[in-house]
Structure 1
């Protein structure tokens, strides 16, 4: 940009200095409908520069009006809060129909005339996440961040976390999850996203630690929680069976609540893995408790 400005100034300077050095300002003649207008070349250049300046100022004023949130600005660019609401409604219908790409486009359009642009960009970003368009979703989140108000921060963080998990940015997502769990430890959606992340990275112990609060806030149905619990405990037993310390599994098992110790599925899994580790005596103890 600076280089272009320097070239432009050199050209303008040449227009002025050239004729002056030749002691001849030259002339410019215009004939319009039998009218003849003549002036010096320097005068013509000055008038042209003034005309360009006026056009530039006029364009800036128009841009200011078109980008304003006033009724005139909305009318001039054919946008209004009412149209934005209609677009959001249409986009929500498309989301239900599974047309994520078109829904994202409508959410983006609604942002131009919406009173809350952050909401429109967040909805568009979520639609793009559902459509696996992660680059576009990240760009929309950047737009949402520009005008994000304190009351919208939590929603913004949730959408951002969903993108991180889907995009397999596990280290970043883990940091985000820990921050959100500290901020809202009983929020069902935070717990569900934390659960999803920990399962993806195979951190079954973290899932086990979340289970009590997930049961309390009913993050999932009872049957889903039972299934999640079984997957987490069996997965953790399998993980510990591969530990270099064969006693690590036994120590962990003995530290579990009575309800877990009396669960037949977990008892059978423990006995099988203990046998593989050569801990026959411990395996027989568990099998005996199952028989009795």
Structure 2
């Protein structure tokens, strides 16, 4: 405001000094009906400025009187609330469309017009989405429920510094008990549990992860497989009987879940429990609990009698099934039947070419001493070509 007045004064001084210096002050002629007014340009400008100032003073006085009345207070209050609500709506719309900076600006306008705790929460969320955590914390001071400050503070801190999860693990657990419906808290808790290899906590949280939809079905399945694999590995160190007993202790639905079955197969192969892995894979395929394509990609097949019989029966019915041929090729690799493996995998590479097929075929060629063919297969695996 100070600079504006300086500019106005300089302009007025220029109006005075310029014409006087030139010797021509100029004039203004105003004609209204039979009346005329003639004055100098400088005087006209000064009168105009004075008129504007007087009108502003009068208008301000009138508005003050109006605001002092019950009607005026109600009208201006409704006007401010309307503007604040519109700014809040604009901010929410911008947030939905992913424009977080515009949303933050709109929430700030709404707060200036009306100090509403809900607006402060929206503004805090927008600031956190922009990774402006200091500003997000400031907004939280105006939140309607101060007891939620600890929750928000923990969320902001772990988003900004995920490496602090180990020091705040107890706090995370307590907050999960107090806010079991909070998806963002659950997401951060799962990340912390996985980072710290707290697989029991991960498994205990998977049901809530599905209910609150904090991750996709694929992400949830992969996380469950990793967690169960670690659980099976730990129990397997006690010996095969302990591992088998734990598997049987799971519910029927758990044992039929593909991710859990994959994890169990992986650990059975790790501990070279071929007979058990053979039954789990073969019976899972027969019942439709497992998909052959996934077993092939994860290399979970073993050279067991029951699985081999199942695949051979399927090949009699579907001799040109590329996945069945690839499976037979992998089993032949396990039993070092290189000629059989080569025939099956070469045909599979024609029917269902994939990186896994070419890698398996390269392994067969290497075992046969055909380095040139092995190199060509490796190149095709890397390029993903046929």
- SS of equivalent to 2:119: helix
Deviation string, structure 1 residues 2-38 (Cα, Å, up to 9, x no partner): xxxxxxxxxxxxxxxxxxxxxxxxxxxxxxxxxxxxx
Counterparts of 1:1-292 in structure 2, within 5 Å, are: 80-116=80-116, 118-131=117-130, 133=131, 136-145=132-141, 147-150=142-145, 153-154=147-148, 156=149, 159-167=152-160, 168=162, 169-171=164-166, 174-186=169-181, 190-195=185-190, 197-199=192-194, 203-215=198-210, 218-220=211-213, 224-225=216-217, 227-240=218-231, 246-247=237-238, 250=243, 253=247, 255-276=249-270, 279-281=271-273, 283-292=274-283
- SS of equivalent to 2:180: coil
| Distance (Å, rounded) in 1 between the aligned partners of 2:262 and 2:188 | 30
User: Which 5+ residue runs of structure 1 have no aligned equivalent?
Assistant: 1-70
| Distance (Å, rounded) in 2 between the aligned partners of 1:173 and 1:128 | 23
Deviation string, structure 1 residues 47-99 (Cα, Å, up to 9, x no partner): xxxxxxxxxxxxxxxxxxxxxxxx98xx8xxx933332222122222222322
Work out whether residues 189 and 219 of structure 1, in 8 Å CA contact, stay in contact via their aligned partners in 2: no
Deviation string, structure 1 residues 99-157 (Cα, Å, up to 9, x no partner): 212321222232223231x33232222112222x2xx3333323422x4443x644x55
User: Which 5+ residue runs of structure 2 have no aligned equivalent?
Assistant: 1-71, 284-386
Superposed displacement of residue 209, structure 1: 0.5
Work out whether residues 206 and 220 of structure 2, in 8 Å CA contact, stay in contact via their aligned partners in 1: yes
| Distance (Å, rounded) in 2 between the aligned partners of 1:102 and 1:172 | 35
Report the equivalent of 2:330.
none
Work out whether residues 228 and 264 of structure 2, in 8 Å CA contact, stay in contact via their aligned partners in 1: yes
Deviation string, structure 1 residues 178-208 (Cα, Å, up to 9, x no partner): 2232223355565455445545655443221
| Distance (Å, rounded) in 2 between the aligned partners of 1:163 and 1:261 | 38
| Distance (Å, rounded) in 1 between the aligned partners of 2:166 and 2:114 | 35
Classify 1:164/1:201 alpha carbon distance in 2 versus 1 (closer, same or farther; 3 Å). Answer: farther
Work out whether residues 204 and 233 of structure 1, in 8 Å CA contact, stay in contact via their aligned partners in 2: no
| Distance (Å, rounded) in 1 between the aligned partners of 2:134 and 2:170 | 18
Work out whether residues 208 and 233 of structure 1, in 8 Å CA contact, stay in contact via their aligned partners in 2: yes
- Count, aligned residues: 206
- SS of equivalent to 2:213: coil
Report the equivalent of 1:9.
none
| Distance (Å, rounded) in 2 between the aligned partners of 1:81 and 1:141 | 25
Work out whether residues 110 and 119 of structure 2, in 8 Å CA contact, stay in contact via their aligned partners in 1: yes
Query: Relative contact order, CA 8 A, sep 6+: which one is greater?
Result: 1
Work out whether residues 193 and 199 of structure 2, in 8 Å CA contact, stay in contact via their aligned partners in 1: yes
| Distance (Å, rounded) in 1 between the aligned partners of 2:196 and 2:101 | 29
Classify 1:100/1:188 alpha carbon distance in 2 versus 1 (closer, same or farther; 3 Å). Answer: closer
CA RMSD of aligned residues (A): 4.1
| Distance (Å, rounded) in 1 between the aligned partners of 2:246 and 2:108 | 51
| Distance (Å, rounded) in 2 between the aligned partners of 1:266 and 1:144 | 42
